Amino acid sequence: MSHLPKLRHLAVGVAAAALLSTSAWAQFEERNVRISIGVADEHPQAVALERFAEKLAELTDGKMKAKVFPNAALGDDANSTSALRAGTLEMNSTSTSPLTQLVPELGVFDFPFLFASYPEADAVLDGPVGDEIGQKMAQKDLVLLCWMENGFRNLTNSERPVEGAQDVEGLKVRVMQNPVFLDAFGQLGSNPVAMAFSEVYPALESGAIDAQENPNVTILTSKFYEVQDYLAQTRHVYTPFMNLVSKTFWDKLSPDEQKAMREACYDARDFQRQLIRQKDAEALEQLKEEGMEITEISAEQREAMQKKVQPTIDRFSQQIGPDFVKRVYAEIEKVRSQGGQAQAQ
């Protein structure tokens, strides 16, 4: 009796199974992806990158294994980015501010009061401006996999409550290694000191500096409340995180592996933005419970601060490129004209 019909059924079955299982067609190899971040492992950035690792493994039949290294264990933002460019590290998640020497356009995100709401930030980062930044990172052998959120930054200090620019005068404030921050905090009459994130806690503890500025969640998860007494909700800058991949590593990946990394990053980004926004308000309450004296900045005081730092924005708009800066503000205006600013910051 001919076995042909049975064999034909078997062949059809195998082909169907293969077609059904996309991973059977996808090319995945055993790969390890080390991810360097500067914040603590309780921070939403770390939590979201753990989700990235789980999703990536799921999408690649467990072949691509990502591991998060928090607390700058593999280097701070600037050093870990240099390692990506040298091909000695696969991925990091870094603030934009320490990288403006590499890509000056990133400096626009350090303009005080650039963004007034989350919808504005999302529209700029996930739109044509974000894509343009990605192209500029590519010219530096870096792949911008996706954005995440560091958040709206607030000022802490150990000297006095801050209710306006006048209270910032004379404070020795740590800022990220970034010329716009140095210039802006100089305009406010403080003594800004540029420093890597991993050095901030010991510098506050020793009294080498009086103040620092970060989002509420970072202030909480890095335990700055242990060495700072006052927290002013200035929300003076919104800092993005960039999830960067070494081009050396990226070019080794198959199209399917690259697609899996992108998909896992977009999933983690959406999760992280939601989580960190929820945690921002919760962190403020927890910081109060930890004994920090909280001050809000009135609209008038905020306006006065904006006037004081406008020369910084004017100077760096020229340096960065006025046309690029105009495009960023135009994207923000689109959101504002649709009422985006009205949403909770």
The residue ranges that bind ligand KDG (CB under 6 A) are 37-39, 76-77, 93-95, 150, 176, 197, 214, 218, 239
Query: Which of residues 60 and 150 has its CB atom nearest to ligand KDG in the complex?
Result: 150
Query: Which of residues 57 and 195 has its CB atom nearest to ligand KDG in the complex?
Result: 195
For the chain, give me the number of helices (H) and strands (E)? 13, 11
Query: Which of residues 51 and 336 has its CB atom nearest to ligand KDG in the complex?
Result: 51
Do β-strands 211-214 and 172-175 pair in parallel, antiparallel, or remain unpaired?
Answer: parallel
Q: How far is the CB of 37 from ligand KDG (least distance, A)?
A: 4
Query: Which of residues 94 and 228 has its CB atom nearest to ligand KDG in the complex?
Result: 94
Identify whether the C-beta of residue 152 lies closer than 8 Å to the C-beta of residue 238: yes
Q: Which residue number has the CB closest to ligand KDG?
A: 38
Q: How far is the CB of 81 from ligand KDG (least distance, A)?
A: 10
Burial 196-219 (b: 16+ CB within 10 A, else e): bbbebbebbeeeebbbbbbbbbbb
Q: How far is the CB of 222 from ligand KDG (least distance, A)?
A: 8
Q: How far is the CB of 192 from ligand KDG (least distance, A)?
A: 13
The sheet that has 91-95: what strands, in order across it? 64-69, 31-36, 91-95, 238-246, 142-152
CB count in 10 Å sphere of residue 157: 24
Which runs of E-coded beta strand occur in 103-176? 142-152, 154-157, 172-175
Q: How far is the CB of 325 from ligand KDG (least distance, A)?
A: 22
Cβ-proximal residues to 82 (8 Å cutoff; 6+ apart), any chain: 75
